[in-house]
Each structure stands twice: as structure tokens, then as C-alpha cells.
Chain A
């Protein structure tokens, strides 16, 4: 990923900033500019998610593409945030330690390193509480 592409989404990556539709009280992450239910009646505003949620599904990755290779095995999970949106992210604990239904909260970690010379991409992962 190029530095500008990463930079444009820093608020999403660092602080889980999404949006919500105030007409029907639905939260969106990643952010949406239009509510699929309310359409023209959409009233969209920025919303920072609390970062708390629950593991809905998970998988342990043993063979990763080269950038993530040093971290295998790692756990990738779909987390349902308390405000109602779902996010796919890494859970920072080892193999077999994370279960569906576990309560998790957001933490700030290095997500990707573009080698020794490129930028470091920081962002949100989850840890069990």
C-alpha cells in the first residue's frame, strides 16, 4: 500500500472513526456516506467507535503472505463492535487462545511494515479483556 493510500484512512485505522445514520440509528464501519435503508432520508454523521466488542468468528493463520510471515501463527477475527458494525482484524494473542464469544477491545499496534525502508503502518488490532 502506498503512503498516501494509508494516510487517507488514518482516522479509521487509528481511532475506528466510522459513520452513523441518525435517521435509523445505524452505525457503519468502514464509514458509509449513504444509509442503504434510509437512502435519501439518510442523516449521516461521523462517529468514533468505542473499540469494544465480541468475537463472531475467528481463524488461525499459519501461512501468510510475506509481509506478515514473521508473525505466524496469528489469529484473525471478525469482531462485532458494541455499536453494531463488524470489523475484520487481528487478535493479538496466540494460537488457540481466542474463542467465539470472547469480549475484546481495540489496541494500537504495528499492522504492516513496508520493509526496512518503507513506512510503518499503524492501526487497530484487538485483545481479549
Chain B
């Protein structure tokens, strides 16, 4: 059965504390930190973007992969912050891992779930026998307008998965999606920062879709939360994933391993995929992982994974990289994010 052959995540090493941003705008730091359950978020270096983060994640995935880049038949990069409006990120990634030219590639966009849409696309091609291996990436360097609520969580990071039929270490038992036309969050072409429907982003968007996909998948497989050792959800903050996990019947022991947003913020298309990377780094052969992404607009892709032999040889140590970080202040942060425009 097809699934994940190898994987890798990348989170830039700079961090800014929620407290530092709140103080800059004269907001109540405790209330902000408590409300979001995010203490710090990742910040990209000045020369990092969605393409560089995707490449670093992909290269990590290939460090432990049983195959090399030229085995790829497809490369999909899902993001809402592709560096170009027209010109694919996927070709940059493909060239950087030596996968070009006999392959297909495309950039995908579906807010924060574009990366898992790529996993489904690659899985379909592998299962149909059209390609041997596909690479699916979710990565973002997300932006929140200065002072906007999003600024407290909008972070940078990404994860890459090599999908195939041979050498699988996390079998995809099944996947189901739940999608509707819901305008909870958007950014028009040419606009610098996204707009959001404030409270509208919760119940009718994040919760409805994540629960919809999750319940449909468990119903189809005949599973219940008790059948899983781990559960990973999209994490726009530290609060939503905990609430959705609990409402579905998962407990802390199942979701804590893949819950990264309290330390790194919301990495958008990278968020649930990075949670999956952290979970695969700890899961043992025979474990089952429940996983659901969410993207505004809106939709959720749920997956059920079964961990196989060989997982030990694929570990990446993602969480260890979180120990070597550098905290920056708001002035350095503004420079890193290019908020001070230079002309």
C-alpha cells in the first residue's frame, strides 16, 4: 500500500515572543499569549522564502530516503506565499533536488491545506501506477499586517513528503476531504496582507470542516479515536487544535507530540505537515496516526496512517532544531519580514 517513504521539515531559526509584539502595540501581553496559546513564533531570515524553506525540507527528506531526487515523477508545492505570482516554486524545488526534467510539477494553492492537497495528488498518481515517487510540500512565510491579530501567529516553515509504493514507512490507509465555499479568510491578487472574517474563522470554517473530514474518514474506516496513538490537526494557534481534538474524542497524550504552534506559531501550509513530521519522528512501528489539515476558503483533508518497519531510519530530529533558536526584538523582526520598505 502506498504512503510516506521519507519526510523532512524545516523551520527558520529566528523566533519572536508574542509578548514582544504585544508590547510594541500597547496590547495586554498576558491576554494575547493566553488567548492564542502561542508564546513565540518563527521568523524567516531576510534571504528565506517559501522556495528556500521548501528546498530545505525536501533535502532533509532525501537525506534518509531510499531513493534520490531523479526518482521523482511529480513535485507539488502548496503555499499561499509563493515567491512569484507567475512562475512555479515547484520547478525551483525540483531542480534543487536533481529531479528535472522527466517529471511533472505544479504549485498548489488552498490557504493552509495546499500541502495536503499535494499529498493526495501524488498519492493518486502513485496508486494509479503513473509515477514511482512524488514529492509533496506544504510551506509558507505568512504575513500579518502590523498590529493585526494575525501578526501574533503568522510564522514560517514547511514540510516535505516523498510519496511512493516501495519503502513505505507510513502507509496511507485512507484519506477523505470535506470542502465548501466559505469566505473566512482571503487575500486578493496584488494585496500584501490577507483579510479575515474575525470570529467567522472558527465555528463555520475551522471546526466544521476539520470535524466533517475527520468524522467521515473514521466512519469510512470503521475506526474511533481510541484506535489511534497520535492525532495531528491544523494549528493556526495553540487553542483551535486542542479544542477540535477534544471535541472529536482525542486526548492530550495523542495530540501533544504534533502540537507545535505554541512554540513556532502558525506556519500556514507548513503547520499540520510539520506536526506530522514531529509525530513521525517519535512514532513506532505499528502505531496509527490520525491527521487532518484545514485550509480557509474552506476545506479539510483527513488521513489515517499506519507506521511501518523502517521508520527508525527516517527520523529527522525536527524538535531538536527548536533548541538552537535566536530570539529577536520587534525592530529586528520588522527588518527580517521586510516591513520596512526600501526604495
With A14-B95, A108-B56, A108-B96 given, is the CB distance from A122 to B51 under 8 Å? yes
CB contacts (< 8 Å) of A111 on chain B: these are: 47
Flag if B84 contacts A120 (CB, 8 Å). yes
Interface centre among B46, B47, B55, B98 (most CB of A within 10 A): B47
A71 cross-chain contacts in B, Cβ below 8 A: 46-47
Q: How far is the CA of A108 from the CA of B48 in the complex (A)?
A: 8
Residues from 95 to 109 in B contacting A, C-beta threshold 8 Å? 95-96, 98
B56 partner residues in chain A, CB cutoff 8 A:
107-108
Whether, in the assembled complex, B31 has its beta carbon less than 8 Å from a beta carbon of chain A, the answer is no
Q: Does A100 contact B (CB under 8 A)?
A: no
| A contact residues around B49 at 8 Å (CB) | 110, 120
On chain B, the number of residues with a Cβ less than 8 Å from chain A's Cβ atoms is 18
CB neighbours of A120 from chain B (8 A):
49, 51, 83-84
Bound: A71/B335 CA distance, A? 9
Q: How far is the CA of A88 from the CA of B51 in the complex (A)?
A: 23
B96 touches A125 (CB 8 A): no
The CB with the most chain B CB atoms within 10 A, among A69, A92, A107, A111, is that of A107
Residue of B45, B51, B92, B342 touching A92 (CB-CB under 8 A): B45
Cα A1 to Cα B98 with chains together (Å): 24
Enumerate chain A residues within 8 angstroms of B96, measured Cβ to Cβ: 14-15, 108, 122
A9-68 CB contacts (< 8 Å) to partner B: 10-11, 14-15, 48
Complexed CA–CA distance, A70 and B342 (Å): 8
Partner of A108 from the list B55, B84, B98, B342 (CB cut-off 8 Å) is: B55
| A59 to B342 CA separation, bound complex (whole angstroms) | 25
* A7 CB, nearest partner CB in chain B, Å: 10
Minimum distance in angstroms from B62 CB to a CB of chain A: 11
Which residues between 87 and 129 of chain A lie within 8 Å of chain B, taking CB atoms? 92, 107-111, 120, 122, 125
Residues of B close to A109: CB separation below 8 A: 45, 47-48, 52
Question: B98 → chain A, closest Cβ, in Å?
Answer: 6
What's the Cα separation between A120 and B83 when bound, in Å?
8
CB distance from B157 to the nearest CB of A (A): 15
* Closest chain B CB from A2 CB (angstroms): 16
List residues of chain A with CB within 8 A of the CB of B83: 120
B234 within 8 A of A: no
B59 CB-CB contact with A under 8 Å:
yes
Among candidates A10, A11, A69, A122, residue contacting B52 with C-beta atoms closer than 8 Å: A122
CB neighbours (8 Å) of A15 from chain B are 95-96, 98
Chain A residues positioned under 8 Å from B95 (CB to CB): 10-11, 14-15
Q: Are B47 and A125 touching (Cβ within 8 A)?
A: yes
Give every chain B residue within 8 A of A69 (Cβ-Cβ): 342
List 19 additional contacts besides A109-B52, A122-B51; criterion CB under 8 Å.
A11-B95, A14-B55, A14-B95, A14-B96, A15-B95, A69-B342, A92-B47, A107-B56, A108-B55, A109-B45, A109-B47, A109-B48, A110-B51, A120-B49, A120-B51, A120-B84, A122-B92, A122-B96, A125-B47
11 contacts between A and B (CB under 8 A): A14-B55, A48-B98, A70-B46, A70-B335, A71-B46, A92-B45, A108-B55, A108-B59, A108-B96, A120-B51, A125-B47
Interface positions of B (Cβ within 8 A of A): 45-49, 51-52, 55-56, 59, 83-84, 92, 95-96, 98, 335, 342
